[in-house]
Amino acid sequence: MIENKNIVLCVTGSIAAYKSIYLASSLVKENANVQVIMTEAALEFVGEASFSGITHNPVITGYYDRKSKLGIDHIDIAKKADLIVVAPATANSIAKIALGISSEPIVGTILASKAPVLIAPAMDGDMYNSTQVQNNLKVLENLSVKISGPEKGRLASGIEEFGRMTEPDKLLSEIEKIFSKKKDYNNIKAIVTAGGTIEEIDPVRFISNKSSGKMGIAIAEALRDRGAKVTLIHGNLSDNSIIGVEKISIKSAEDMTNEIQNRVNYFDLIIMSAAVADYKIKNKFNQKIKKEDISHLELERNPDILKSIDGSKIIKVGFAAETENLIENAKKKLSTKDCKLIVANDITLPGSGFGSDENKATLVHNKGCEDLPLMKKSELAHKILDKTKSFIK
């Protein structure tokens, strides 16, 4: 997808700059034409030679180098760019891009270009949370700049916080998605549910399940990339960094039901991949129960969300995560819940199901069953959308 694309990789002065060498190398391996621009501060962290050696292009470090492409025509690179990536993006460079302060070639190039811009912030957690950085990021979002991360993890300071630059492999896949041409979900409004719900027992204890939300996230990303307007209603997620979709966080099955019911009339499609608790505690305790006082818990059924949605008004896709009688249960769900498609997966299969990056599923619909091999959840998400598309008029 990125073969022969002109990608401008802008590297700024963060400790994460070393990751961009790997990113440059990955882009070159995919046959992209990579032009690196570095700030003066970036040169304190990584060498120009690493990038020029990998990309086979001279690195741009300033406006006034007569031997560089920019020294001869300062907007040439901007006009030819298919994508501009700023990774890592420091707080300083984020502010300059947001305000259009073009004292650095990176900002000048972004201002003079019509290419999409993707930035990967990297900084200390408190810096990232500061009002200034958050405001600047909002300005960039309003300018349709795509922002990836930052992720939570161990920072150079030794603390665990949000501030780590998105890993190069993830950035590469985000770059590939930007170039993905298939826009067959344009004008479709979709709700995706993901993650496990929580049913509180008392203020400290709850009942939940093993869902990581990865399958739902993959579906929301695939829909977004294919042009849909996506609302993601989610419980517990292992990674909440998805961008470009509306995110609504809920706790219980009841919360999820309410959020869906409020929207369902305005949407075309709902894909329910969340692991919704079937039962809740009948009388939730307002105070922490003493362990001596717990002898049993009384449960009551949660509403069946999928069943409660009118299938004549919206296309419904459900999931059946089973440990036995997979297809039989999925077929039953297809008819009793008035769904167009059930994605059935046996969660006991090795490498498949909860928490895994891969899944093996069977697509069950009214014309039969399609057994798919084990594949990445991101790939399976597209297969599900390919099938779902046939139900959308």
Judged by CB under 6 A, the residue of 2, 23, 24, 42 near ligand FMN is 42
Torsion sign across C-alpha atoms 331, 344, 308, 192: negative
# of chain residues touching ligand FMN (CB under 6 A): 15
Q: Which of 23, 178 has the CB closer to ligand FMN?
A: 23
**Does residue 92 touch ligand FMN according to CB under 6 A?**
yes
308-311 contact pairs (CB < 8 A, 24+): 308/257, 308/261, 309/260, 309/264, 309/270, 310/264, 311/337, 311/338, 311/339, 311/340
- Find the length of the chain: 393
Reported in sequence order, the residue ranges of 155-286 that DSSP labels E, i.e. its strands, are 160-164, 189-194, 199-200, 206-207, 229-234, 246-249, 269-272, 279-281
Q: Which residue among 7, 8, 12, 145 contacts ligand FMN (CB under 6 A)?
A: 12
Q: Which is nearer to ligand FMN, 20 or 378 (CB)?
A: 20
Q: In the range 270-329, which residues lie near ligand FMN by CB under 6 A?
A: none
Pick out residues in 113-152 that bind ligand FMN (CB under 6 A). Answer: 122-123
Active-site option among 209, 302, 345, 359: 209
Binding of ligand FMN at residue 166 (CB under 6 A)?
no
209 given a catalytic annotation: yes
Q: Which stretch, 8-16, 19-27, 74-82, 367-375, contacts ligand FMN (CB under 6 A)? A: 8-16
Q: Which is nearer to ligand FMN, 10 or 223 (CB)?
A: 10
Q: What amino acid is encoded at 388 in this protein?
A: T
Handedness of CA 113, 107, 171, 24 (dihedral sign): positive
DSSP 260-291: HHHHGGG-SEEEE-SB--SEEESS--SSPPPG
Q: Is 352 in the site for ligand FMN (CB under 6 A)?
A: no
Q: Which segment (90-98, 298-306, 361-369, 384-392) binds ligand FMN by CB under 6 A? A: 90-98
CB of 9 to ligand FMN, least distance (A): 14
Rounded CA separation 37/117 (Å): 14
- Contact residues for ligand FMN, defined by CB under 6 A: 12-16, 39, 41-42, 90-93, 104, 122-123
Catalytic residues: 209
